[in-house]
Chain A
Amino acid sequence: MAVTAAAAALAAGPSPQRRAGLGPWFAVTPMLGWLALFVIVPTLMLLVISFCERDGLGRIVYSFTFENYTRAFDWKWLKILGISVWYAFLTTAICLVLGYPVAYFIGRSSERVRGLLIMLVMIPFWTSFLIRTYAWISILSQDGLLNALLMTLKITSAPIGFMYTPFAVILGLVYNFLPFMILPIYTSVEKLDGSLIEAAYDLGARPARVFSKVVLPLTQPGMAAGILLVFVPAIAMFAITNLMGGGANPTIGEVIQNQFTKARNQPFGAALGVLLLAIFILSLWLSSKFRRSEQE
Chain B
Amino acid sequence: MTKHKTKLIAAACAGAMLLAGCGKKDETLKLFSWSEYVPQAVIDKFTEETGIKVSVENYSSNEEMLAKLLAGGGAYDLIQPSEYAVQAMIKEDLLQELDQAKIPNLKNLAPEFRNMPFDPNNKFSVPWLAGFVGVVYNAEVVPGPVVGYKDVFTDEHAGRIVILDDARETVSWGLATAGIPINNVTDENLATITPLLKDWLGKVKVFDSDSPKTAMSNGDTDIGIVWSGEGALLFAENPKFQWVMPVEGVHMFVDNLAIPKTSQNKDKAEAFINFILRPEISKMISDEFPYYNPNLAARALLSPEQLNNPASYPPGFDVTSAQLFTDLGEQASKVDELITTLKAQ
Asked if A pairs with B, the answer is: yes
0 or 1 for each of A44-56: is its CB under 8 Å from B? (1 = yes): 0000000000111
Is the Cβ of B341 less than 8 Å from the Cβ of A144?
no
A242–B211 alpha-carbon span in the complex (Å): 12
7 closest Cβ contacts across the A-B interface? A247-B207, A56-B329, A141-B218, A246-B206, A263-B336, A142-B219, A143-B219
Nearest Cβ on chain A to B77's Cβ, whole angstroms? 20
Is the Cβ of B66 less than 8 Å from the Cβ of A164?
no
B100 at the interface (CB under 8 A from A): no
24 contacts between A and B (CB under 8 A): A56-B327, A56-B329, A57-B66, A57-B329, A58-B70, A137-B214, A141-B215, A144-B218, A159-B219, A163-B215, A164-B215, A242-B165, A247-B208, A247-B343, A249-B343, A249-B344, A259-B336, A261-B67, A262-B61, A262-B167, A262-B168, A263-B167, A264-B63, A264-B67
* Contact partners of B61 in chain A: CB under 8 A: 261-262
Nearest Cβ on chain A to B171's Cβ, whole angstroms? 12
0 or 1 for each of B327-345: is its CB under 8 Å from A? (1 = yes): 1011011011100110110
A166 at the interface (CB under 8 A from B): no
A57-B70, A142-B220, A268-B333 given as contacts; is B205 within 8 A of A164 (CB)? Answer: yes
Binding site for B on A (CB under 8 A): 54-59, 76, 79-80, 83, 137-138, 141-144, 159, 161, 163-164, 242, 246-250, 255, 258-266, 268
B187 at the interface (CB under 8 A from A): no
Is the Cβ of B344 less than 8 Å from the Cβ of A79?
yes
Nearest Cβ on chain B to A98's Cβ, whole angstroms? 27
B92 at the interface (CB under 8 A from A): yes
Count of B interface residues, CB-CB < 8 Å: 38
0 or 1 for each of B205-240: is its CB under 8 Å from A? (1 = yes): 111100000110111100000000000000000000
Binding site for A on B (CB under 8 A): 60-61, 63-64, 66-67, 70, 88, 92, 159, 162, 165-168, 204-208, 214-215, 217-220, 327, 329-330, 332-333, 335-337, 340-341, 343-344
A266–B63 alpha-carbon span in the complex (Å): 11
A57–B70 alpha-carbon span in the complex (Å): 9
* Contact partners of B341 in chain A: CB under 8 A: 76
A152–B122 alpha-carbon span in the complex (Å): 58
* Contact partners of B66 in chain A: CB under 8 A: 57-58, 264
A242–B167 alpha-carbon span in the complex (Å): 15
Most buried by B among A144, A242, A247, A250: A247
13 new A-B contacts, CB < 8 A, other than A80-B340, A137-B214, are A55-B330, A56-B327, A57-B92, A76-B344, A144-B218, A164-B206, A164-B220, A246-B208, A247-B165, A248-B204, A248-B205, A262-B166, A264-B332
Is the Cβ of A262 less than 8 Å from the Cβ of B343?
no
- Candidates A59, A143, A163, A263; contact of B337 at CB < 8 Å: A263
Is the Cβ of A56 less than 8 Å from the Cβ of B344?
no
* Contact partners of B168 in chain A: CB under 8 A: 262
A143-B218, A163-B220, A164-B220 given as contacts; is B208 within 8 A of A262 (CB)? Answer: no
Nearest Cβ on chain A to B47's Cβ, whole angstroms? 28
A159-B219, A262-B332 given as contacts; is B343 within 8 A of A250 (CB)? Answer: yes
Is the Cβ of B340 less than 8 Å from the Cβ of A255?
yes
Is the Cβ of B333 less than 8 Å from the Cβ of A264?
yes
* Contact partners of B167 in chain A: CB under 8 A: 262-263
Is the Cβ of B340 less than 8 Å from the Cβ of A57?
no
Nearest Cβ on chain B to A129's Cβ, whole angstroms? 16
Nearest Cβ on chain A to B98's Cβ, whole angstroms? 22
Is the Cβ of B218 less than 8 Å from the Cβ of A142?
yes
* Contact partners of B217 in chain A: CB under 8 A: 143
Nearest Cβ on chain B to A206's Cβ, whole angstroms? 49
Nearest Cβ on chain B to A181's Cβ, whole angstroms? 28
Most buried by A among B92, B217, B333, B335: B333
* Contact partners of A260 in chain B: CB under 8 A: 64, 67
A79–B340 alpha-carbon span in the complex (Å): 12
Is the Cβ of A246 less than 8 Å from the Cβ of B205?
yes
* Contact partners of B327 in chain A: CB under 8 A: 56
Nearest Cβ on chain B to A173's Cβ, whole angstroms? 18
Is the Cβ of B70 less than 8 Å from the Cβ of A161?
no
A142–B66 alpha-carbon span in the complex (Å): 38
A141–B218 alpha-carbon span in the complex (Å): 6
* Contact partners of A250 in chain B: CB under 8 A: 340, 343-344
Residue in chain A with minimal CB distance to B209: A247
* Contact partners of B214 in chain A: CB under 8 A: 137
Residue in chain A with minimal CB distance to B332: A264
Is the Cβ of A246 less than 8 Å from the Cβ of B344?
no
Residue in chain B with minimal CB distance to A71: B337
A57-B66, A261-B67, A262-B61 given as contacts; is B332 within 8 A of A246 (CB)? Answer: no
